[in-house]
Amino acid sequence: MEKLKKLNNPYLPAIVGIIALLILGQTVTSGFLSMNNISSILMTTAILTMASIGQAVVVISGDSGLDMSIGAVMSMTALFGPMIVLGSGTVSLIVMIPAVLIMGGCVGLLNGIGVRVIKIVPLVMTLIMSNVVNGFAIMITNGQPSVSVSKELQSISSVLVGPIRYLTAIVVILLIVLEIYFLRKSRYGRSLVLVGDNYNAAELCGINSQRIVILAYTFGGAMAGLAGLMLVGYAGTAQMNMADSYTMLSVAAVVIGGTKLTGGKGSFIGGALGAMVLILITNILQALNMAAGLRSLIQGIILIAILMTNSRAPKLRQ
Amino acid sequence: MEQFKKVTRWSAFPSLLLFLVFLIINSVITGNFSISFFESFLTTNAAAICVAIGVTATILVAGTDISLGSIVSLVNVVIVTLCEKGYSVPTAALIAFGCAVLCGMVNGFIIGVMRVNPLLTTFATSTAFGGIALWILPYPGGYIDYSFGDWYLGNMLGFIPTPVALILILIFIWTVFTKLPSGLHLYALGKDVKKAYASGINVTFLRFFVHTFAGIAAGIAGICVSANTCAGSPVVGASMSMNSIAAAVIGGVSLNGGIGSIWGGIFGACFLNILILIVVSANFSSVVQSFIQGLILLIGVVFSVIAADKELSGKLKRIFKGGAK
């Protein structure tokens, strides 16, 4: 009984979902569990995981925090990142990473200021910001993206380290480091959870809540920026608004992973597991060769089912 | 003076002011200010206004609905497909309208009865509804008999233009509902769910009703779009959901619920669309347009939020009165 209780942790639905989907995938199409397919699933999961880490920080910061500009930021950095060309490909790749972090961070900073200083509701602020960012990307590229992705950038998603790809390994390490040393142990991470749980109480404890929340949005934007660079490295080409679907996918991943949308509770690893569930669903439906419309209908229904079992609000009568 | 103060304190006042100012700017730029301009403006934007009304209703009870755009697309697709299958236009429109109401009821059931977060629910249902639309009609195409367009451009009851009449029907339903005791319950629910529940308000029914109403609004919006374009596209409503939320916020509707009225949504939507019209007609190069639209949208929201925030606007006032602290 004790063990059962221990099992009832927030990750459980996601883990059960992943196992069920893997079995389903193997029965539907043979070769689903082949190493090649698994590593490509892990690859796309890694990109969504990056985005969901950014989303999770913003959601944890509380006050119905949400970052709807993640997709737009990813699309922007996917377009602008590869434009940096310096000397050799490796050098420009090294410059690209801080550059996309700064680009995303700037957008996140504006989001944070809008939400915390001007007090615009996060949903609206980030939504409008995504319009601005998308418009900005169109303006800079003249609406005709002509991005050539360098070999070095593409290699992060194709070179293998043992059985899995380079990028997946990096993301897994980054995920664990961020989870333990950023969210759980660092002074900032603890303040973030406290602020998300109760803004005023945190303020009374001497925490500068406003700064914490603004930093959370900045961090979220920076992570989205990095995810955009990964996406373009994986896809090999960049298009306008190529990452738009990542906004809501990251929200869904975070929720499936057990992070409460009311804030103050959550984890990055949960987001990663949620991302895996979503990617598996998409992958199985693609393997079945379904029409695009039917595919998104089934995705929607599965999502509703997950929501209805996983994140119902408690009854009002208590 | 009292009367004047009452008007300026109205939550929808900033958006009305913005709309009028930009209407004048537009007439100066294009030199076109007449009843016919206004009529054509309403004809093209009736759908956006209807969706804004629906979203505002859901926001008033501290929810949101981002699936309305997909419902609009679905209605459009259903009408086109049924017309091509040989149904008469009114039958097709009625069936499509029924679909929209059903979609609204699905939303209402999941949010009201199952108590799932409205944003996530409507995101999931928008994927599903959009999927159905894309499944029925994978590519833009098809056409509707032009009699539908003629009906839309004509008058109802002899003197009211059809788009206006359609919007008025929505406003009428909503006004009747808010004038009944249920209207008070609705605002109470938006302000504080727990207190509303403790006072014996039927929270489940109200949430269900509001989302069904949003479905009705999206259905009418879908009919407007179909009649205006007389063609089918599975993504015709894609941008509507987000724009309508922005419209509601510009209209002084608080996303925390309980503050604002549907007039705010209506004027907000009018303002947004006249803005788009100005940016289009001001001969900016097409690549800059969406950036400028986004920026002005941002400024509009910042302006209306600051105007509604008494503490912040008080601070600003003191600064403008000579920096006296």
Which pLDDT band, with edges at 50, 70 and 90, does B130 fall under? Answer: very high
Give the tokens for residue B291.
């950036």
Subunit contact A143:B286, Cβ cutoff 8 A: yes
Which residues are within 8 A (CB) of A128 and not within 5 positions of it... i.e. 6 or more apart? B246, B294, B297, B298, B301
CB contact under 8 A, A131 and B131: no
The rounded distance, in Å, linking the Cα atoms of B59 and B261 is: 10
A123 to chain B, closest Cα gap in Å: 9
- Which of A266 and A216 is assigned the larger pLDDT? A216
Does A4 score more than 80 pLDDT? Answer: no
Task: Inspect the interface and report whether the beta carbons of A308 and B116 lie closer than 8 Å.
Answer: yes
pLDDT of A146 higher than 80 = no
Average pLDDT, chain A: 85
Q: What pLDDT, on a 0 to 100 scale, did the predictor assign at position A7?
A: 53
Q: Tokens 């990813």, residue? A: A74
The closest CB to that of B246, out of A128, A294, A308, belongs to: A128
State the nearest Cα–Cα gap between A155 and chain B, in angstroms: 33
Task: Find the closest chain A residue to B119 by CA distance.
Answer: A123
Helix axes A209-235, A35-60, angle to 10 degrees: 160
Quote the pLDDT of residue A111.
Answer: 94
Antiparallel, parallel or unpaired: β B160-161 and B155-156: antiparallel
Q: Which residues of A touch B245 (CB under 8 A)?
A: 123-124, 127
Which residues from chain B sit within 8 angstroms of residue A133, using beta carbons? Answer: 294
**Owner of token pair 């504080």:** B192
Element housing B298 (H / E): helix B286-308
Q: What percent of chain A has pLDDT over 70?
A: 95
A171 pLDDT band, cuts 50/70/90, is: confident
Confidence band for A318, pLDDT divided at 50, 70 and 90: low
Q: Cβ(B218)–Cβ(B54) under 8 Å?
A: yes
Highest mean pLDDT (candidates A255-264, B72-81, B282-291, B293-302)? B72-81
What does the pLDDT look like over B120-129, one tens digit per residue?
889 889 989 9
**Segment A303-312 mean pLDDT:** 78
Segments in chain A forming alpha helices (H): 2-7, 12-28, 35-60, 70-80, 89-116, 122-141, 151-158, 166-177, 187-197, 199-204, 209-235, 246-256, 268-287, 292-310
Interchain CB contact of B101 with A (< 8 Å): no
Residue B187: the pLDDT is 92
Query: Is residue A317 over pLDDT 70?
Result: yes
Q: Minimal Cα distance from B196: which residue of A?
A: A316
B287·A139 Cβ contact <8 A: yes
pLDDT value, residue A238: 81
Instruction: Identify the closest residue of chain B to A121 by CA–CA distance.
Output: B255
The answer to whether B128 contacts A315, with C-beta atoms less than 8 Å apart, is no
Helix axes A166-177, A151-158, angle to 10 degrees: 80
Distance of CA B60 to the CA centre of its chain: 13
Chain A nearest-CA residue for B125 = A300
**Thinking of the domain B2-320, which architecture would CATH place it in?**
Orthogonal Bundle (1.10)
Q: Which residues of B touch A69 (CB under 8 A)?
A: none
Per-residue DSSP letter, B289: H
Give the residue extent of every domain in chain B: 2-320
pLDDT in tens, B182-210: 999 999 999 988 899 999 899 999 999 99
Quote the CA–CA distance of A180 and A121 in Å, as a whole number.
30
pLDDT of B313: 67
Structure ipTM over 0.90, yes or no? no
Q: Residues 165 to 194 of B: which have CB under 8 A from any A CB? A: 193-194
**The pLDDT of residue A2 is above 70:** no
**pLDDT for res B1:** 65
Chain B residue numbers with beta carbons less than 8 Å from the beta carbon of A132 are 291, 294-295, 297-298
Tokens of A236: 């090999």
Confidence class of residue B325 from pLDDT cuts 50, 70 and 90? very low
Q: Contact B119/A123, CB-based, under 8 Å?
A: yes
Tell me whether strands B155-156 and B141-143 are parallel, antiparallel or unpaired: unpaired
Q: Chain A interface, mutation test: which of B61, B117, B136, B245, most A Cβ atoms within 10 Å?
A: B117
Task: Provide CB contacts within 8 A for A130, sequence distance 6+.
Answer: A68, A69, A71, A72, A73, A247
